[in-house]
Structure 1
Amino acid sequence: MASSLTKGSPAPEKTSPAGGKTLLGHPIGLAPLFLTEMWERFSYYGMRALLVVYLIAGGPDAKPGSQGGGLHMPETSALAIYSVYVAMVYLLTMPGGWIGDRVWGPRKTVAIAAGVIMVGHLVLAIPGQASFFAGLAIVAVGSGLLKANISTMVGHLYDGPQDPRRDGGFTIFYIGINLGSFFSPLVIGTIGQKFNWHLGFAIAAAGMGLGLICFLFGTRWMSPQSSVVPTPLTVAERNTWLKKGLIWLAIAAVFYGAIVASGQWNLKWALYPITIAGLIIPVTVLLRIKRDKDLSDTEQTKVSGYIWFFVAAAVFWMIFDQAGSTMSTFAEKQTSDTLFGLSFPSTWFQSVNPAWVMALAPVIASVWMALSRRNREPSTTVKFAMAMFFIGASFAIFVVPMLMTQDGGKASPMWLLSIYMIQTIGELCLSPVGLSVTTKLAPQKYASQMLGVWFLAVTAGDCFTGLLSLNDVKLNSPVMVGIEAVMAVVAGIAVWVYRKRIVALMGDVR
């Protein structure tokens, strides 16, 4: 309770750099941004929890006796669509950030993004395959716009990077992410999976609608800087981008028009180009930065060091993001749906990771602080190696219940609870450290863009699994899960073995 955090008489009112009041020592504008992000995550993770089970519902790979009314797809197609969708959300953060920086400004971009996401979920709530894919695309666009700009607005609330409240503000903001992602599968997942899929999608839209209301109501307390377009496009640049966009749109229209006219159209014609682009674009962006002649020798060396972290992160997210695909279908079909006498839908497993994050994050942070006081805190490279071992171990363990249930039996939910716990420890070793090292190794010229590059590691990892699924590789087989576990461990060993070389490339960054 708020009252428990104050002592004695109320403190005098303070003002933030935005000119507004403070709440518990932080700019009051943090509250609407917290609520906006919480409701956006509520809508995103709730829909994501339903995605794969909805795609296979009523089809050959659906759980016997489960609710019908889905899109009747085979599991390999569902896993490919899921991977491509998640990859696109993170890929679109780069153009989303660009639009915020050069066209609308962060505040207007976030407001539009929230409206776009809400519309996307409402389209998903309309039965039919066409409306489903249209809604999925709209949500991905909105998520890319919002994700790239709302964190920037949190930063605007504080008096520069040296403001002592800044890290605490982002920590509070991070809590909102996990609260939204924890509750959404319990609410949206239950209603969608047990009663009606499209009602679940509609509730996701209502959640984003609440987030938009919170955002619009709270704009009075946000920094005026968030309304500024940092580097607006010139008229000439705007015309050039418009011309390029129309040219590519015309090429795509002609290409796909010809495919449809020839009668060769199928879903893979849409998924393959997106998946391949999701692998090519991260490589292209990194090479462009690496080869930029404006960078100093030291900056280019640091980018070379960063590539090690990028590749490791791509392998990590390749496995981690299968929580909503491979592990989701295992939870649906091969895991018991009762624990301690409580029956629950399989979508509840999607709440396990955020629950573990909220439980373990303070513990992990305390461990790092205790080791730091003794000058024994692991370096960034060692933490990355640890993350790779944890994520690899999680899939090595996953092989066991997969083998146990091949005869049609059901695995205990404790298997997945334990696997998610191991993955979360790996996430806490990699994700915050990765964000930090990205900002530290970023060349000055690309200081803002490098966070977008970090998210491209997620895109690359998900597009790799998407490409495998499109080629009918069974990601849910014990052999494939074991291969991925080995890949992660090998990546961890590589980071560990070459840690001195990586540290040398990092220069003064640790």
Structure 2
Amino acid sequence: MEEKTAQTESIDDVYHDNHEHPAPTEEDWKELPEVSDIIPKSAYLVILVEFCERFTYYGLSGPFQNYIQYPQPESYPADQPGAMGKGQQTATALTTFFQFWCYITPIFGAIVADQYWGKYKTILVFACIYMAGLIILTLTSIPPALDNNSSFPGYVVAIIIIGLGTGGIKSNVSPLVAEQYRSRSPFVKTLKNGRRVIVTPQATYQKIFNMFYWGINIGSLSAIATTELEKNVGFWPAFLLPTLMFIPCIIVVLLGRNKYVQNPPRGSVFIEAGKLFILNWKVKGGLAACKPSALALTHPELAAKVTWDDVFVDELKRTLKACIVFCWFPIYWLCYSQMTNNLVSQASTMLTGNVPNDIMQNIDPIALIILIPLMDTFIYPFLRRVGIPMRPIMRITCGFFFAAVAMGYTAGIQSKIYKTAPYYDHPEGQNWISAAYQIPSYVLVAISEIFAAITGLEYAYKKAPQSMKSIVMALFLLTNCFASILAFALVSVAVDPKLTWMYTGISGACAVATILFYICHRKNDDDDVEQDAIGRSDEELNGNLSPKTVAPVEYEAEKAGV
């Protein structure tokens, strides 16, 4: 993506010779549009790391459903590629487990980063673990391993190791990219044309995570190559390609070690929080009663033993309040996860021409690659100019809504498949209906990701205190783990002819969640407006940062090439 966009209005356009960047007044907030600040160069390096990792992840997982579900063909190119022949239910269960595992391990990765190594070293070490799993998966997919039935145990071992490596990277790479931007207060700038704007952290983080997610989806297009390889050559080259691509990921991490903004480990929040909750159970009276200042009055013998301060208790309370918003995301991720298993199987019962059935899932990243720059460059800036800033809760609500619509549409397509010859509601092959009917399902899911998934990353970072960034990000990723548990519960109905009702039920659940989510959390957007209006971020409200504008200083350094 080009750094100069309509949203940022470029570094040179925003810069003004008077070097003064006053805080916006109440009148400024009413009259001036919001724009994003310059994106640090180090942030692009982190995005490149995520691109390489996601290239590997999606390149591997793209063929997984076919790899498990269908038997090995007699020759290649194959009409229906496969390897293990375990059936749709087993394939869906295993791919769901892989998703579950990849989103529970970030908790461990966050603890390691916060307690011992910091984000950078944790990413590097877990990348090496990831590489070991890739090698195992590739070696156990070669023809001799398939003939000796070694592919199944090799696959299980590989996904456990890969999932562990993924967890160490995912919980730390997204907060690391946001940490590269250090400004915490909004300020007013005057453009060369005399137009005044407000540069806000809100708009800047929104742009950073849009670019971050854009890089993810560029990487996810690797599934196009790997699904073609599985169809025309076999699974071993399909897994070899992303394995080789992971090598540049490790190289970029190593080469960028002196360029990243790195915060030292601050100690595991989980360990301290666990002690705090145990004490709260003994003391009663809520977390406020566990502050050292309160304990000094009520339980002086305990006050001398605690290892936290009053600020930590306040931060933990704010973190828990922010995490309540994440409780709704499992329903959303349940909708999203259908793309990687059941929709792949659905395409196998439709006419796909000469392309493999699992290539259809790449419509989602293609749509995102097109839509994210449009949203970032035109739609969001336009909405800000007309007084509709689309705060986080509103965006997440829209994301849930589009996910519900996507599943409702998919239920309609499934019903149409069941009404189509020659196999009707027990398709043993391809019914005479084009897989192009799936395109709106993927596009709608892509739109929902822009509103819900990207905003969730942004919200998790912004709402977390500085000492809890990795943990809150890991908790946000953990919601995908709970979605996998829900998906496990649906495995029994992930068979013909029950799929129409399964999609209908998921759509209905997400629609209800959409309404309840907005009713419960709509006031959070008003809180964001109030915090921006007084010119202080969440960290500053807790005394972690001084309420001064850092960006102009960083801008001068950027101009000087420092």
Pairwise TM-score range, normalised by the shorter structure: 0.7 to 0.9
Secondary structure of 1:508 counterpart: helix
Aligned residue identity for 1:134: V
Q: Given the alignment, which residue of 207, 214, 231 partners 1:175? A: 214
Q: Does 2:454 match 1:432?
A: yes
CA-to-aligned-CA distance 1:297-352 (integer Å, 9 cap, x gap): 99858845752x32332111111111001111112x123223xxxx3222322321
Matches within 5 A, 1:139-154: 139-154=162-177
| Matched-pair contact (CA < 8 Å) for 1:59–1:74 | no
Residue 159 of structure 1 deviates from its aligned partner by 3.5
Correspondence for 1:194 among 232, 256, 265: 232
List per-residue Cα deviations over 1:456-508 (Å, max 9, x = no partner). Answer: 21111122102332x56549711111111111112123234xx2x53457772
Count of residues in Structure 1 that have an aligned counterpart in Structure 2: 427
Cα 1:303–1:66 change in 2 (3 A) is same
- Whole-angstrom CA distance in 1 between matches of 2:220 and 2:137: 19
Kept in 1: contact 2:102–2:164 (CA 8 A): yes
Cα deviations across residues 19-75 of structure 1 (Å, max 9, x unaligned)?
Answer: xxxxxx755544543332111101100111111111012189xxx964565121121
The unaligned stretches of length 5 or more in structure 1 are 9-24, 242-286
Q: Counterpart amino acid of 1:402?
A: Q
Shift in CA distance, 376/171, structure 1 to aligned 2, threshold 3 Å: closer
* Alpha-carbon separation, structure 2, partners of 1:221 and 1:448: 20
* Residue 506 (structure 2) pairs with residue 491 (structure 1): no
Of the three residues 400, 410, 419, the one matched with 2:441 is 419
Deviations 1:175-228, CA, capped at 9 Å, x for gaps? 32121112x1121221123311122112221111121123223334334x36x4
Task: Quote the residue 2:528 is aligned against.
Answer: 509
Whether 1:38 and 2:51 are equivalent positions in the alignment is: yes
User: Corresponding residue for 1:334?
Assistant: 349
For 1:12, the equivalent position in structure 2 comes to none
| In 2, Cα distance between equivalents of 1:89 and 1:484 | 22
Asked whether the equivalents of residues 302 and 507 of structure 1 are also in contact (C-alpha less than 8 Å), the reply is: no
Equivalent in the alignment of 1:396 = 408
CA contact (8 A) 2:96 2:487 kept: yes
CA distance in 1, matches of 2:488, 2:474: 21
TM alignment of 1:170-249, pairs within 5 A = 170-182=209-221, 184-223=222-261, 225=262, 228-231=264-267
Question: Distance between the aligned counterparts of 2:321 and 2:315, measured in 1?
Answer: 10
CA distance in 1, matches of 2:286, 2:333: 26
Letter in 2 for 1:186: I
Equivalent pair of 1:118/1:206 in contact (CA under 8 Å): no
| Residue 371 (str. 1) matches residue 393 (str. 2) | no
* Residue number in structure 1 paired with 2:103: 90
Letter of the 1:54 partner, please give it.
Y
- Alignment check: 8 A CA contact 1:120 1:136 kept: yes
CA distance in 1, matches of 2:482, 2:362: 25
Q: Pick one of 72, 86, 97 that aligns with 1:73.
A: 86
2:254 is matched by which residue type in structure 1? L
2: CA distance, partners of 1:441 / 1:419: 32
User: Match for 2:163: what amino acid?
Assistant: A
Report the residue type matching 2:216 in the other structure: I
Q: Would you say the 8 A contact 1:88–1:140 is kept in 2?
A: yes
The corresponding residue for 2:189 is: none
With normalisation by structure 2, the TM-score equals 0.67
CA contact (8 A) 2:71 2:84 kept: yes
Amino acid at match of 1:199: P
Aligned to 1:449: 471
Does residue 322 of structure 1 match 2:322? no
Distance in 2, Cα, partners of 1:355 & 1:206? 23
Instruction: Note if contact 1:29-1:219 (Cα within 8 Å) is conserved in structure 2.
Output: no
Distance, in Å, in 1 between the alignment partners of 2:62 and 2:481 is: 19
Identity between Structure 1 and Structure 2 (%): 20
Give me the whole-angstrom Cα distance separating, in 2, the residues matched to 1:502 and 1:430. Answer: 14
State whether residues 298 and 507 of structure 1, in contact with CA within 8 Å, keep that contact through their aligned partners in structure 2: no
> C-alpha displacement at 1:426, in angstroms?
1.5
Letter in 1 for 2:459: V
CA contact (8 A) 1:302 1:505 kept: no
Q: How does 1:22-33 map to 2 (within 5 A)?
A: 27-33=40-46
How many Å separate the matches in 2 of 1:330 and 1:486? Answer: 20
2:64 maps to what in 1? 51
Using the alignment, how far apart are the partners of 2:316 and 2:470 within structure 1? 15
Change (3 A) 1:481 1:377: same
- Equivalent position amino acid for 1:463 in 2: I
Q: TM-score, normalised by structure 1?
A: 0.73
